[in-house]
Structure formats: structure tokens, C-alpha cells
């Protein structure tokens, strides 16, 4: 006998994109009531996130990501790749680069507001351009932005309209770079009939599924869930620590003049040891909310563990109790300034005359050396 199939339109949460359901509060898209006619629903999680700023855990999502991106590729639609200017290396979503190579590409380098004001924007553009070139990505344009300050909003809208050729626009990027915040800024300028906004939060994994926002009669903005970059600090600390690590205000660089055999403890999550070399200057570019404590290397193991135990430093995270939970990275400093980078957490500008540095970071987090960003 032939099986009868029925199709129904899936109603999705406007905030996170999850399909709305009213049966299981532990799954995504839960709404404990029926949807009113004509309502643009927000699930319970997004409602609490948007109205009370609550830290609502992120349930697992099933994403239409590939399907939607395959469509973008097929139609040669504009991809807007949003990167975080502070945690740039944590914004590199290699798995999506093939799509970016196949489509017109606009790069928005967001969160300009957290970098020191006196840095030249052209230098930042050059930094992003050079880094992306290493991955054979050559965007049509790179625009510096701050969703907080609506920086260059007009320029972004102008470029999107020029490059999209009347077609859909796909926003992609790593978790928490500000994709949804940017789209919300655009919605304030474009006609937004719903008066509802997409959920944003300080924690990665806010947007759970692809969200489609009408742009005009025949085209859409697609907000996609952020991709978690595995070798970034964000994948290795808890949500409470994340609040400290992600800078929300302009960072104040902190410079330490230190002798060798001194250690700088970065909250209870990382450590920077100056093992060998002449007295030197080390400047930390790190969220202002993270503590840096100085001690002798010989005392560093104990100091690190006891500060975590007594919670006398910020941040701490459940995953790290003592030095056994960190991994060591050794660097021989070249002559002249360089940056040592702990992906997603910070970079340290070393004005070095040579010497040896050991960096300890959570296992699996990338630690690397690069020429100075600023």
C-alpha cells in the first residue's frame, strides 16, 4: 500500500534558528505554549538570553550548514566572512575556506573597539590580508568594523549591495565573532518588519541553526552558526572563564620589565616563563578582566595551583587545577620584536635581544610565534 506523506512548514525560533517544539525543554527550540497566529516566535532559551542575559547552556544543534553553503556555492552568492580582530587566529575556519574560494568574498574584521585606538586601521587590514593570503583567500574587500559602535556600517552595506548582485548573502565565521550582532545592526538600517532580533551572547554557540532573514522581495541574509575552532582557548575553558577572556572594552596593553627566571601567571589558565636572557620588556595584549601575577619560576608551580584552589586569580576554569593540565611550548626568541600568541587568549609582544621563553597553555590550544600584529 502506498504510504501517505504530509508536509508542514517548520516554524523556527527567530533568535537561534532551532525548529520550535513544545514537548521537550531539554532540546533546542523549546517553547512551553502554542505559537499565536502571525507570531515570530522566540524559544524559551532565546527569550531568557535576550531579556535576562541569562547564561543558558547551549544544547547540541543539528545544522543545515553544508546544505545551505552548497547552495551558496552553486549560485555563486556573496559570502561575508566575519573575523574577530582580537582573536584573529581563532577565527580561521579552514573547513569553510573551499566555499569562500568558490564565491565572491567580503571580509568583515570585527571588534575593532577592543584593540588600542592608536593602531592604524590600514595596518590591521594588511595583517588580515596577509594572513588570509597564506590560505589562498583573496577577498574583494576587507572592512574593519565594530558591531558595538556601528563602525563602517554604511561602507559594509554599500559593499554588500555592490557585491551581492541581487542574490542572497551568507554570513559565516567562527563562534562569537559577532555575525549575529552585525546582522542585527544591518536590520536596524534595512527595513525590519518583525521588530525581533537574532540572539547574541558572550558565549560561543549562540546561533544554533541557519537563520534566514528577508532582505528584499526575493533575497535573504543567512546567519549561520559559528564554527568552534578546536585549537582556540574557547574550546578548552568553561563559560564562566569565557566572560573574562573575551574582551568587551578596549584592552589596555600591560608591559612587564622582567629578568630571566621570572614567571607571569595568566589567571589560572596559562603561564609565561622567561627562562633565559637579558632583562627585557614583554607587553601583554589580553582582556583587562584577566589577572597577571608575577613570581619566580621556582615558585610558579605551587603559586599557580594555590591561586586556583583559593580562587584568588581570574579567570579559573573547571578543567585546570594545576600545571599538569597545561602543555609546555618552548621558544627561542629571535633578535627584535615578535609576538607569541596563545590562540584566542592573548598575544605577548617580546622586545627581545634573544633568550628562551616557555609558554604553558591548556592542552590542545595553539601557541605560536609570528611577526608583530601591531
- Which residues are near ligand GTP by CB under 6 A? 110-111, 113-114, 146-148, 173, 175-181, 200-202, 204-207, 225-226, 248
Pick the closest to residue 373 from 159, 132, 131, 183 (CA basis): 131
DSSP-derived pairing of the beta strands 262-266 and 292-296: antiparallel
Least distance to ligand GTP, CB of residue 227, Å: 8
For residue 305, give every residue at least 6 positions away whose Cβ sits within 8 Å of its Cβ, in sequence order, or none: 321, 322, 323
User: CB of 40: closest distance to ligand GTP in angstroms?
Assistant: 18
Contact region with Mg ion (CB under 5 A), list: 202-210, 265-273, 324-332, 346-354: 202-210
Helix axes 179-189, 153-164, angle to 10 degrees: 90
Closest approach of ligand GTP to the CB of residue 103, in Å: 19
What letters, b where the CB count within 10 A reaches 16 and e where it falls short, cover 125-161? Answer: bebbeebbeeeebebeebbbbbbbeebbbeebeebbe
Of all helices (H) and strands (E), which one includes residue 357? strand 346-362
Distance CA 354, CA 61 (A): 48
| Binding partner at 45 among Mg ion, ligand GTP, none, C-beta below 5 to 8 Å by kind | none
Which residues, other chains included, contact 36 with Cβ-Cβ below 8 Å and sequence gap of 6+?
A: none
Q: With respect to Mg ion, which residue has the nearer C-beta, 200 or 313? A: 200
Output the CA torsion sign for 179, 182, 188, 189: negative
Q: Where are the alpha helices (DSSP H) in the chain?
A: 44-52, 65-74, 97-102, 121-133, 153-164, 179-189, 239-245, 297-310
Q: Is 9 helix (H, G, I), strand (E, B) or coil?
A: coil
Instruction: Decide which of Mg ion, ligand GTP, none touches 277; Cβ closer than 5 to 8 Å per partner kind.
Output: none
Q: Does 316 bind Mg ion (CB under 5 A)?
A: no
Output phi, psi for 214, to 5 deg. Answer: -65, 135
224 near Mg ion, judged by CB under 5 A: no
**Nearest-approach distance from CB 176 to ligand GTP, in angstroms:** 4
Cβ-based nearer residue to ligand GTP, 227 or 338: 227
Instruction: Name the segment binding Mg ion (CB under 5 A); options: 25-33, 177-185, 244-252, 332-340.
Output: 177-185
Nearer to ligand GTP, 152 or 263 (CB): 152
Minimum CB–partner distance for residue 267 and ligand GTP (Å): 19
Q: Which of 152, 196, 201, 207 binds Mg ion (CB under 5 A)?
A: 207
Instruction: Write down the least CB distance from residue 206 to ligand GTP, Å.
Output: 4
In the complex with ligand GTP, which residue's Cβ is closer, 171 or 347? 171
Partner whose footprint covers residue 178, from Mg ion, ligand GTP, none (CB < 5 to 8 Å by kind): ligand GTP
Query: How far apart are alpha carbons 283 and 281 in whole angstroms?
Result: 7
Residue 323: CB minimum distance to ligand GTP, A: 31
* Position 180 contacts Mg ion (CB under 5 A): yes
Cα Rg for the chain, rounded, in angstroms?
22
User: What residue 176 binds from Mg ion, ligand GTP, none (CB within 5 to 8 A, per partner kind)?
Assistant: ligand GTP
Q: Which is nearer to ligand GTP, 244 or 272 (CB)?
A: 244
Residue among 96, 115, 117 nearest 107 (CA): 96
Give the three-class secondary structure for 279: coil
- Give whichever of 202 and 334 is closer to Mg ion, judged by the CB atom: 202
> Which lies closer to ligand GTP via its Cβ, residue 145 or residue 263?
145
Select the residue interacting with Mg ion from 206, 231, 287, 316 (CB under 5 A). 206
Q: How far is the CB of 17 from Mg ion (least distance, A)?
A: 9
Question: Would the CA dihedral through 170, 176, 181, 182 be positive or negative?
Answer: negative
Return the H-helix or E-strand segment holding 108: strand 105-110
- Residue 177 binding: pick among ligand GTP, Mg ion, none (C-beta 5-8 Å cut-off by kind): ligand GTP
- Cβ proximity to ligand GTP: between 181 and 316 the closer is 181
Other Cβ atoms closer than 10 A to 98: 11
Residues of this chain that bind Mg ion (CB under 5 A)? 179-180, 206-207
Amino acid at each position: 500500500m502506498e504510504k501517505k506523506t504530509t508536509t508542514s512548514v517548520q516554524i523556527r525560533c527567530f533568535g537561534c534558528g532551532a525548529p520550535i517544539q513544545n514537548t521537550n525543554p531539554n532540546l533546542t527550540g523549546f517553547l512551553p505554549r502554542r505559537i499565536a497566529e502571525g507570531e515570530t516566535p522566540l524559544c524559551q532559551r532565546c527569550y531568557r538570553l535576550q531579556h535576562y542575559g541569562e547564561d543558558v547552556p547551549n544544547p547540541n544543534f543539528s545544522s543545515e550548514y553544508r546544505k545551505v553553503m552548497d547552495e551558496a556555492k552553486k549560485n555563486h552568492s556573496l559570502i561575508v566572512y566575519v573575523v574577530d580582530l582580537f582573536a584573529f587566529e581563532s577565527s580561521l575556519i579552514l573547513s569553510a575556506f573551499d566555499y569562500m574560494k568558490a564565491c565572491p568574498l567580503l571580509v568583515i574584521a570585527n571588534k575593532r573597539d577592543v584593540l588600542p585606538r592608536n593602531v592604524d586601521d590600514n595596518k590591521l587590514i594588511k595583517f588580515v590580508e596577509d594572513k588570509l593570503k597564506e590560505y589562498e583567500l583573496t577577498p574583494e574587500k576587507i572592512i574593519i568594523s565594530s558591531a558595538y559602535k556601528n563602525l563602517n556600517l554604511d561602507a559594509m552595506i554599500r559593499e554588500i549591495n555592490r557585491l551581492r548582485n541581487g542574490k542572497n548573502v551568507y554570513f559565516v565565521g567562527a563562534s562569537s565573532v559577532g555575525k549575529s550582532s552585525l546582522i542585527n545592526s544591518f536590520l536596524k538600517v534595512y527595513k525590519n518588519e518583525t521588530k525581533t532580533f537574532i540572539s547574541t551572547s558572550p558565549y560561543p554557540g549562540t546561533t544554533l541553526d541557519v537563520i534566514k532573514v528577508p532582505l528584499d522581495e526575493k533575497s535573504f541574509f543567512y546567519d549561520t552558526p559559528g564554527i568552534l575552532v578546536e585549537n582556540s582557548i574557547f574550546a578548552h575553558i568553561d563559560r564562566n572563564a569565557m566572560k573574562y577572556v573575551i574582551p568587551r572594552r578596549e584592552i589596555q596593553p600591560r608591559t612587564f620589565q622582567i629578568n630571566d627566571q621570572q614567571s607571569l601567571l595568566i589567571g589560572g589558565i596559562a603561564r609565561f616563563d622567561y627562562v633565559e636572557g637579558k632583562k627585557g620588556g614583554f607587553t601583554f595584549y589580553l582582556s583587562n578582566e584577566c589577572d597577571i601575577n608575577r613570581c619566580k619560576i621556582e615558585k610558579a608551580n605551587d603559586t599557580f595551583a594555590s591561586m586556583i584552589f583559593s580562587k584568588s586569580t581570574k579567570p579559573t576554569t573547571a578543567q585546570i587545577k594545576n600545571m599538569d593540565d597545561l602543555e609546555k611550548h618552548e621558544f627561542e626568541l629571535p633578535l627584535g620584536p615578535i609576538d607569541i600568541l596563545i590562540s584566542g587568549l592573548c598575544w605577548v609582544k617580546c622586545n627581545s635581544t634573544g633568550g628562551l621563553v616557555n609558554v604553558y597553555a591548556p592542552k590542545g590550544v595553539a601557541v605560536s610565534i609570528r611577526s608583530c600584529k601591531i
